[in-house]
Structure 1
Amino acid sequence: MTDSGKTIAPDAAPLDAVALLRASVYADGAVDAEEVRRLCRLAAEEGFPTATGRQLYTEALTDYVALQTAPSGHVSEEMARWLIGVLSADGITTDMEVDLLVNIMRRADSVPVELSAFALAEVSRSVLTGAEGGIISAADVERLRSILYAFGSERSVGISREEAEVLFDLNDHSREAENDPAWSDLFVKAIASFLMAARGYTLLSREETLSRDAWLDAPTGGVTALFGDMLSSMLSNGLRGVWSAWRQQDDTSSMLNEADETRIRQAEAVTSEEVKWLADRIGRDGVIHANERALLKFLSEESPDIHPSLRTLLDTAA
């Protein structure tokens, strides 16, 4: 490991090498662009085999990207593009780099959605090219969930189209795999969140919306007829609970004022565009998958004002 042309003694303990590197990176109390480029080169060429090394890498890049570059706490689109370029320069994004993205999204007050979509896509790529042959494991689902949590933080932010696109792609490419049931949990909830945001509903936080816990005490019936097993029970009750909570929040609103009416008119315009995208996206590969069928059937049961384009899909999926 080198430090601005200086070779750290090969017999130095890993902790000593990292301590020297940290002292150099933070010599003036901040992290500059050259220090970031140096850390990225080290990550690509040698990696950081110790926990302290990985901590330094994550801390320094988070400081530079999210906290020290004005305005502090806000990652610009230009900075996001730069970071994505750096992390994807060699065509391989490591777990450490995904963890970095999660940390940046957690620490920053705002980040472009491209960072979340990129992180999701990299986890998806590792699933589809990994040793498990494209099977989505419970650990993979939790990694995807952690990215979605991080981007939304505690704010009420619906799933974006960019994120939904990545999730749909992964669902398409893994449709014949014996995926962990948690994948259906996350996929259906995330797309429901996308729809509710498009319709202008007051949203729960992402953590509440995408939580695993809401599925545990699900009764049978309704959507469960599509599957007839524990998974279908999870899909039916958990999503219904989230949907109900959204509607309760929306129904408790007082009499509409002019701002509310404007918001609703804008939401209706967004709904038309977003739902058209969803209708085009479902079954784009020529197959309406089990998860997509469950979502469509649920919407049919719970949303009487379902958009006509989705009604056509429901008739097809029936």
Structure 2
Amino acid sequence: MTTHFTELAQRAATDGAISPQELLALRQQGWGDGQITREEAEAVFAINHVLTERDDAWTDFMVEAVGEFVLNGTQPRLQCSDEEAEWLIAQVDHDGMVDSMAELETLVRIVERAENTPDKLKNYVLAQIEREVVSGTGPTRCGGELSATHISAAEVRILRRVIFASGGHGPAAVSRFDAELLFRLKDKTLAEENAPEWDDLFLDGVSNFLKGFMLEGAQISHGRATELESFMADTSVNVGRFIARAAQEAPQVANHFGKVFGKRSTAAGYEERAAEGAKVTDFEQDWLEKMVDADGEVDELERRLLARIIDEGD
């Protein structure tokens, strides 16, 4: 089916548009033998590059076709390998950026559906969203909203989907990379009219990183261990300053410090590990101070973050 599919794709792309009849023919050819090959997936990307308009029907088709190749084209299913991640990024990054919502949605859905994806793919998607926020341009801006350094509702939705995706660092597990991205976005957009959903995403994401715990075999385990080792080698953080600031910003810290901040045990049971995970470790405590210090002030979102950590530690 590959030859017929690619020929049909080439014909469909000649005028920069694809009709419903052409899209139906692509579906019939692509799934005629029950699978999408790499050549067919590349043909889909080639069409997307030349389309002048990409409607919902095309986006749905592209998401399904490319996702089918990446997640079900080879064994094991629902896994995205390093090679496939590099291939995906190369297909999208031919012009140096994600330039259509169809491409962005394709990447996000793969990260969402996969049981395991390389960090480079998830981090690539998040980097594109950060670039959009700073520049004010990109597929989530829908050709308008050209004001830079604010976070739109569409960007909040995509960030949440990627950060909490099952194919990321672990099921609903937020990594240090994700949490630091949220802090950078917060610092760059403090004075801007961000979408109302942004505050909850920041608080949910950073709190998850600080108070989450690792399941056996979860994808986060190796990366989180590496983060811990590298961060503890950084002697520039002063824990005392953090404690003093926390006490000033939220006086109840002094009464609840032992409950919320502490060392986690290596208990094997799920309930024990979940309970220990609710404590903020020395490493995470140091990290939080460093992030709060980054912009030289304790802002309202950081106060609310401290309050949430304390409240959830009760």
Per the normalisation by structure 1, the TM-score is 0.64
Aligned to 2:108: 102
Pair 1:289–1:89, CA change in 2 (3 A)? farther
The one-letter code of the counterpart of 1:106 is E
Q: Distance in 1 between matches of 2:43 and 2:302?
A: 45
Q: Deviation per CA, 1:102-125: give whole Å up to 9, x if none.
A: 322333223234433332332232
From 140, 151, 163, the equivalent of 1:136 is 151
Secondary structure at 1:157 match in 2: coil
Matched residue SS, 1:7 = helix
Supply the AA of the counterpart residue of 1:296: L
Counterpart among 174, 179, 190 of residue 189 in structure 2: 174
Match of 1:68 in 2: 73
Q: C-alpha separation between the residues in 2 aligned to 1:132 and 1:263?
A: 44
2:95 is aligned, of 66, 76, 90, to 90
1:171 partner amino acid? K
Which amino acid in structure 1 is aligned with residue 74 of structure 2?
A: T
Q: 1:50-109 CA deviation, whole Å, 9 max, x = no partner?
A: 333222211111001112222101112332233223222312212222211232233322
The aligned counterpart of 1:259 is 268
| In structure 2, distance between residues paired with 1:299 and 1:10 | 56
Residues 53, 192 of structure 1: alpha-carbon distance in 2 compared, 3 angstrom cutoff: same
On the 8 A contact 2:115/2:166 being kept in 1, the answer is no
Q: For residue 12 of structure 1, report the CA deviation from its aligned partner.
A: 9.6
| Identity percentage of aligned residues | 30
Root mean square deviation of aligned Cα: 4.0
Structure 1 residues 176-191: aligned runs within 5 Å: 176-191=191-206
2:128 corresponds to:
122
* Distance of 2:17 and 2:88 partners within structure 1: 31
Deviates more, 1:295-304 or 1:167-176: 295-304
Whichever residue aligns with residue 268 of structure 2, its letter is: A
Equivalent runs, 1:122-271 vs 2, <5 Å: 122-130=128-136, 131-151=146-166, 156-197=171-212, 259-260=268-269, 271=281
**1:10 deviation in Å?**
5.6
In 2, the alpha carbon distance for the partners of 1:168 and 1:260 equals 32
1:295 aligned residue: 305
Aligned residues: 251
Residues 20/121 of structure 1: CA separation in 2 closer, same or farther (3 Å cut): same
Which residues of structure 1 form unaligned runs of 5+? 203-222, 227-246, 248-255, 305-318
Q: Which residue of 2 aligns with 1:243?
A: none
Look up the match of 2:289.
279
C-alpha separation in 2, matches of 1:67 and 1:5: 21
Report the residue type matching 1:3 in the other structure. Answer: E
2:194 is paired with a residue whose SS is: coil
Unaligned runs of 5+ in 2: 137-145, 217-245, 250-259
SS at match of 2:156: helix
Query: Which letter does structure 1 place at the counterpart of 2:149?
Result: G
Cα distance in 2 for partners of 1:303, 1:187 equals: 19
**C-alpha displacement at 1:24, in angstroms?**
4.0
Q: Does 1:3 align with 2:7?
A: yes
Matched residue type, 2:35: A
Q: Whole-Å Cα distance in 1 between the matches of residues 6 and 20 of structure 2? A: 15
Q: Read off the aligned partner of 2:152 and give its amino acid letter.
A: S
Which residue identity lines up with residue 145 of structure 1 in the other structure?
R
Structure-2 change in CA distance of 1:5 and 1:127 (3 Å):
closer
